[in-house]
Amino acid sequence: MSGVKRKRNVLNVKQKLEILEKLDNGESASTDAEDVLNEENTISHSAALQSVETLLDYMGQRGFDYGDITAVRQICVDIRQEMNKQQKQRRIADFFKAVNIKRKIPSLMLYGMQRVNVQKATYTADLQWNRVSNREPPAPKPRCYH
């Protein structure tokens, strides 16, 4: 969440009350919820999810229009996707730090080259043996890198 400003942790009470009052009056809540979430001083993702889910619960209890609920749910889904994306990026970065990739790559490359050299030497020895014994050379063995 490095790109997310954290000036507030939750929606303030006044904003929540305004949205809930508009819902009680039968007005659309989708644009209000979106405006609150997209303000210049954005809130953290978890706080936004908590606020949106509170709105969804309230709307469901009051039997509001399906379109409003769908719009608010879409905002919630978008936020969750962004959180999952950032969490995945952090996990990948942590994995490479834990493995210490700088030290492991040269040793893996060396191991791979050793296996190729052994296979080449074996194939060359087979060719020489077959020439001496007048046999057909065997087909090259498939390379296997483990």
| 52 falls within a domain | yes
pTM of the model: 0.33
Half-sphere exposure of 80 (CA within 13 A, CB side): 10
Amino acid at 47: A
d(CA 49, CA 76): 6
| 76 falls within a domain | yes
pLDDT at residue 76, as a whole number: 75
Q: What is the pLDDT of residues 87-99, one digit of tens each?
A: 888 888 887 777 6
- The residue-averaged pLDDT of 53-82 equals 74
| 88 falls within a domain | yes
Tokens (6 digits) for 27: 């007005």
Tokens (6 digits) for 54: 């509170």
Taking CA atoms, 40 is separated from 7, 14, 91, 123, in Å, by: 10, 17, 29, 68
Q: What is the pLDDT of residues 9-28, one digit of tens each?
A: 445 556 666 666 666 555 55
- The residue-averaged pLDDT of 40-57 equals 66
User: What percentage of the chain reaches a pLDDT higher than 90?
Assistant: 0
pLDDT at residue 56, as a whole number: 74
| 94 falls within a domain | yes
Q: Which domain holds residue 16?
A: 2-25+44-102
Chain centroid offset of residue 114 CA: 36
pLDDT at residue 84, as a whole number: 83
| 131 falls within a domain | no
30 close to 67: Cβ distance less than 8 angstroms: yes
| 121 falls within a domain | no
Number of domains composing the chain: 1
